[in-house]
A and B are shown apart, each in its own frame.
Chain A
Amino acid sequence: MIEYVFILPVIAGLLAMFLPSMLGRGILIITAFFHLQLSLMGWFGKLSPTFVNFFRITPEGMLVLLVTSFIFALISIYAVAYVSETGLANERIFICCLLLFLGTMSMVALSDHPIVLWIAIEATTLVSAPLIFIKRSKEALEATWKYVLICSVGIALALLGCFFITLSMDIGNINTPFSFSSLNQVARHLDPLWLKAGFVFVIIGFGTKMGLAPMHTWLPDAHSQAPSTVSALLSGALLNCAFLGIYKVHILMNFAGLGAFSSNVLIAFGLFSVLVAGIFILNQPDYKRMLAYSSIENMGVIAFGIGIGGIAAFGAILHMIHHSLLKSSLFLSSGNILLGFGTKLVPKVGNMAKLFPKTFVSFFAGFAGISGFPPFGIFISEVLIIIGAFKSGRYAAVGILIFGLVLVFAGASRIVMDISFGHSSQEVLVKEKFFRVMPSIVLLLSSFALCIWMPDSIYQKILHTIQTIGGSFHG
């Protein structure tokens, strides 16, 4: 009964809506840790799906689920500390939507039926919209409107893509249940033209949600206006879920012998995203927007790595895990900065090294990690992706990728230096607290730990994940 993984948060969320907010906080943390336990049980194969037509345990799904669950458990601690300090006006809606968000994301990770996957991804948009709007400012309103409208239209196009895949089944005269696992078995008989059309629509649709340029326009607004806990979830968990949707169709394309086509599309979108992020990050006056553009860049790197395949695919999945850990840590730290200084504008904040020493450590280390410095995992994953791209002889593509990465580093390092050591005229509003620093430190440490000692089960899961697209560690 692996479905319990998404049923539990949904029920808990609805309960939290109607109970007093103090109880709601308890429910949030308990559910988060129960969810982590359930995900671990699913990871070790102790649970199996009941509704086999719709859900299935896949290695890629379990990776996304475990990452989501782990991040959510830590973020829930931060969230409770955050709401109890700031006294959020709509606390019950906040906690309810957080839990529903966890539920819908878990559903994405388990979906095997393309339309169920679509329903779950659209549902993540709908339950996270109130979270972005929770502060009720004019800017938050604008960000929410853009988020809901752009993502809904994008995801609607993905539905069209799903219909094209069904059409390719009908033309190929195939009579299997409509699910990824059974489609993969008969992929060779699907009509290639309509399958390609389906993939293009799916990557445009779910790519909107994943933040691939040029469909990324909602992302910086939503990430900068949402409370930092929500930004951390959006960036660390939601983008992976959208990526999972694309990845599943990419696997199908590989089984159908159209892997070269889908790989090239992924590489093109990936490179374009990295470049766009690099250009917009250069003169960014807002540090949360800077982090948002960095997410776009990293999603681009992941799409690029998956498109290259081979050892780069291993790097891409590793990149996904470490990006989630580091970026959610960074967003949590940025939440402390925002609480402390009361502004998101870089010129107004500064001297964090003296004023907020603990947040400074986590923010600066997170920045080093996300820029690809050892001892954090992004270093390894980016090296693997670049080696993979060299091996497959795509020299021009690697050149563009590295140029983009340098741009992002240049833009981000200026901002981080300004915040950390620059002059500050702002007064400190709220001091840093243990429970708002600990989660981001733990996230950083887990990225560090995974870097020096990767458990064999994670290594095997990644290998199983990329096997289907022809990737391996030695390829």
Chain B
Amino acid sequence: MLHIIDAVLVTILLSVLLSLGSNRLKALVEIMVLQGVAVSVVPLLLEYHSEIRQGGIIFFQIMILIKGVLIPGLLYMALKKIAIKREVEPIVGYHASLLTGLVLIMVSIVVTERLHLTLPAGRELLLSTAITTLAAGLFLMMSRRKAITQVIGYLMLENGIYLIGTALTKQSHTLYVVEFGVLLDLLVGVMIMGIIIHNIKDAFDDVDTTFLGSLKD
């Protein structure tokens, strides 16, 4: 039997692999649109014991708007301003990154099995996807030099954490005010990072974080 949720989760996994293998920054932002929307619809597709409460549907629409439109939009604007198209000389190469991505998927499947959680049916794949996304986000932050790619890594990390919250807890989707606060923080965070990236470009004529190394002991 085919479940839509599985298709969405596989999309997320593919988006993670794509982002690890891609060197064009514009493509990375487009991948984040796909991933953001996919992550936002996952809770809607899970089988709930009860219907989504009033106010919930507005929240999910706002969430798709923020994760799928506003945040990638901010990134796209930052990208246009800095006029840099490619990530050159990453710390870990693209083929090695892809391989790492595959290893991460395997590891997270093993971890999910080992945790021995009594998850509702169908959530095993969700948890594996979540752990992969989180780990890949961290990996992306550490293995790339451009500031904007690091922000994208941070976003993937957040997506992963959000998915883990969705997979593990029954209660996480009851207080929309609180969830909205988390999203707002994320949005403002990306905005501020965008402004800093713009300033890095102005100051150093590049957004390479290797320039940011004058403060140390």
Contact = CB atoms under 8 A, between A and B. Distances in A.
A170 B200 contact: no
Interface residues of B, number: 38
Interface string A140-177: 01111110110011001001100110110110000000
Nearest to A178: B171
A133 B196 contact: yes
A160 B193 contact: no
A91 interface: no
A117 B84 CA distance: 38
Contact of B192 (A126, A138, A141, A146): A126
Main secondary structure on chain A at its contact with chain B? Answer: helix
A388 interface: no
A101 interface: no
B193 A119 contact: no
Contacts of B188: 123, 126
A141 B165 contact: no
Contacts of A130: 192
A170 B170 contact: yes
A116 B213 CA distance: 35
Nearest to A121: B185
Interface residues of A, number: 44
A439 interface: no
Q: Which of A123, A143, A156, A166 has the most CB of B within 10 A?
A: A156
B40 interface: no
Contacts of B182: 115, 118-119, 159
Interface in A170-217: 170, 178
A145 B212 contact: yes
Given A119-B181, A163-B169, A163-B172, A142 B157 contact: no
Interface of B: 134, 138, 141, 147, 150, 154, 157-158, 161, 164-165, 168-172, 175, 178-179, 181-182, 184-185, 188-189, 192-193, 196, 199-200, 203-204, 209, 212-215, 217
28 contacts: A54-B178, A115-B182, A116-B178, A119-B181, A119-B182, A119-B184, A122-B185, A122-B189, A123-B185, A133-B196, A139-B215, A141-B196, A141-B203, A142-B212, A142-B213, A142-B214, A143-B215, A145-B147, A148-B189, A149-B150, A149-B154, A149-B193, A152-B189, A156-B158, A156-B161, A160-B161, A163-B172, A280-B217
Given A126-B185, A142-B214, 15 more contacts: A115-B178, A119-B184, A129-B192, A138-B214, A145-B200, A145-B209, A148-B189, A156-B157, A160-B161, A166-B168, A166-B171, A170-B169, A170-B170, A221-B215, A225-B215
